[in-house]
Structure 1
Amino acid sequence: MPDTVHIENTPEAVNLRILGGDSFQFARVYREGGALVDFSADEIEVVLTNNRGTDLLTLTVDDGVTVDDSGNVTIDITQAQTSTDLPGNTGIQWRARWIRDSDGRAKTLARGLVDFVNDIT
């Protein structure tokens, strides 16, 4: 079961380790004010950038990000993406931003560094 995170003013700091050529998944359950967040009508955008600020990979709902009405957010990076989009880059950072449908409020849920390990082949 994914860790439960209470949404605060400061985003959760999470460093990721992604291996080239492997699929990668990251999941959390979010609560705000004690209640599970209903993300079902909202957008979650996940962006990975390199040390020059160039976007390497952008994931959105139904394209790498899965959400529901019970606080669940799951990020999936495919084997193809870890093989082609990330190798050769350094200083990779990531963030997951929630854009609420009802009022357009944008809130960064999590951010951190990515330790990308190239495939040995």
Structure 2
Amino acid sequence: MRSNKIAPIEIIRYLLILLYVYTCYHKIVDRDVFEQTLSKSKLIYNYKEILLYLIPLSEIIAIALLIPNKFIKGLYFSLFLMISFTIYLIAVNNFSLYDGCSCGGIFNSMPYWLHVSVNAFFILINIYAIIKYEDK
């Protein structure tokens, strides 16, 4: 008999999809804000035209990879994105004249420590999901 309980790995998958849908939506809908935020960072200013399209595209790819039943590639890609975004966030807030992020939505107004904590949470649950998926 099949259980109606949703496995923790499925909950994590849905949380990751929700995160990427939310942030990607805000980057696309608030494109001007996203572009202005990217322009403020001296670390990536020269690449902002590419990143303006590449970042939302990478989030759409993460969503697409997380949707199918065999979503291990999505978990690895998501982990890569979250680590990359977190490194960028730390670099921008510690080695640039500009403090902030270009994530969109409520993430733009979060204090730095909270945003890093949220990212760390998503990195940890992503790692947990990979380990659990590989153990299946």
Taking structure 2 as the reference length, the TM-score comes to 0.28
Q: Give the TM-score normalised by the residue count of structure 1.
A: 0.30
Task: Give the structure with the larger helix fraction.
Answer: 2
